[in-house]
Amino acid sequence: MSAAGPDTPPSTAAPASAAVTRLKLTNFRNYAELDLSLDARPVCLFGANGSGKTNLVEAVSFLGPGRGLRAAGADAVRRHMAEGPADIWAVYAEALTRDGPVSLATGADPADPARRRTRLEGAAATQSELARLFPMMWLTPREDRLWAGPRADRLRFFDRLVLAGEPHHGQTAIAYEKAMRQRQRLLDQWAETGRIDPDWVHALEREMASAGTALAAARLDALVRLQGEIDERPETRFPKADLGLEGTLEAWLAEGLNASEAEDRFLDALAGSRRRDSAAGRSLTGPHRTELTARHRAKDQLAADCSTGEQKALLLGLALAQCAALARARGAAPVLILDEACAHLDAARREGLAAAILEVGTQAWLTGVERQLFEPFGAQAQYVEVENGRAGAVS
């Protein structure tokens, strides 16, 4: 279904922040076909439960690095009713980026539909390139229990914030995890057979030490910037948080060790923990074990102990502060997807959210069951009504 663009014509000048100006979906989730023309203003999607709002923002999240906001595989997003050669699903977008207007596309690989391929201006795109050109963050109802949930989820959330400002962070994390898995395989074999090649394990530990130190340094750097932004921000409707990263490597770097000293110390620690890691069946030390902590400053309370509404407000505050920090540092804010974020906010906080998004100048994508939830945006946002796998801009 095609929809005419809103009254404001899309700007063709290089924008401060990344923004989708056209979004086309083919056989994606509950969308057979969709063609939306947009401008750089925030996008408010409204419609009944199950109409396809989250599916639409998931498609947008596929334009950035990673597996999108549902972490879905390529074969999971294909529309079930697809017929004939329409087995192939695709998300195509035209977007304004720091390099000017580009076309981005992702979809099932025709040669192997279980695989996803991503193209930038018609050529294969790397994850780092996507992270640089189309930085992105999101909050979904999945994150509602983030502060009280598993440690690994919090770290993943924070790593996504870091990735929005440091395009290489994702590749470093993959390199670290790959080396860690390989080392663990050798240690598992050691436990089973009693045989080990210490040189091989050492070689992998060097890779872990180098990538792990880079990971920890990027996280610390992001944490300092983010905390600085939070501290400097005027009081808003969103509570301020005091953040911390508890991890061995992060602690060494924070103590003042330089990167190569921290790397050497981590290398020694890995060599010293082979027996323990072999017995445990996993690596017991390293930046994959880092804990993100947060306290509600005004209430002097651990985030996990706050009410559900306050926990969500803390997360929103973090995401908005990171957007602002990146807009300040890089001159461009990441695209921010907020799925069902307004539902649990009172009227004052909804106003605060709109004000913060408009101030940063990010193209935020918000979803909600009713249009009234987005009233504070007024004419400074564009509105899209979603109904049963169809969506159209409304004025």
Partner 1 sequence: MNQASGPEIERLIQLLAKLPGLGPRSARRAALHLLKKREQLMEPLAEAMGEAAAKIRACAECGNLDVTDPCAICASQRRDPKVICVVETVGDLWALERASAFKGRYHVLGGVLSALDGIGPDQLNVAKLIERAGREETSEIILALNATVDGQTTAHFIADKLEGASVDITSLARGVPVGGELDYLDDGTLAAAFKSRRPA
**Interface with partner 1 (CB under 8 A), residue from 45, 125, 162, 204:** 204
What letter represents residue 104's amino acid? L
Is 197 a binder of partner 1 (CB under 8 A)? yes
Q: Phi and psi at residue 109, in whole multiples of 5°? A: -70, 120
Is 203 a binder of partner 1 (CB under 8 A)? yes
Q: Report helix angle 248-255 to 259-272, nearest 10.
A: 150
d(CA 93, CA 194): 54
**Interface with partner 1 (CB under 8 A), residue from 142, 145, 156, 206:** 206
Is 112 a binder of partner 1 (CB under 8 A)? yes
Residues in contact with partner 1, counted by CB under 8 A, come to a total of: 28
Q: Which of residues 125-184 bind partner 1 (CB under 8 A)?
A: 128, 132, 166-168, 171-172, 175, 178-179, 181-183
**61 belongs to an annotated ligand binding site:** no
Minimum gap (Å) between residue 26 Cβ and partner 1: 20
**212 belongs to an annotated ligand binding site:** no
Nearest 5 degrees, angle CA 62-CA 151-CA 236?
70
Tokens of 253: 């770097």
**86 belongs to an annotated ligand binding site:** no
Closer by beta carbon to partner 1, 21 or else 213 = 213
Task: Please enumerate in sequence order all residues whose Cβ is within 8 A of that of 69, keeping only pairs 6 or more positions apart, or say none.
Answer: 57, 58, 61, 138, 140, 337, 339
Contact predicate 356/35, CB 8 Å: no
Q: Which helix (H) or strand (E) holds 296?
A: strand 291-296
**244 belongs to an annotated ligand binding site:** no
Asked whether the CA dihedral 30, 104, 47, 76 is positive or negative, the reply is positive
Characterize the bridge pairing of strands 136-139 and 335-338.
parallel
Q: Which of residues 43-102 bind partner 1 (CB under 8 A)?
A: none
Minimum gap (Å) between residue 95 Cβ and partner 1: 18
Closer by beta carbon to partner 1, 128 or else 227 = 128
Is 199 a binder of partner 1 (CB under 8 A)? yes
Annotated binding site for ATP: 47-54
Which residues bind to partner 1, rule: CB under 8 A?
Answer: 111-112, 128, 132, 166-168, 171-172, 175, 178-179, 181-183, 185-186, 189, 197, 199-200, 202-204, 206-207, 211, 214
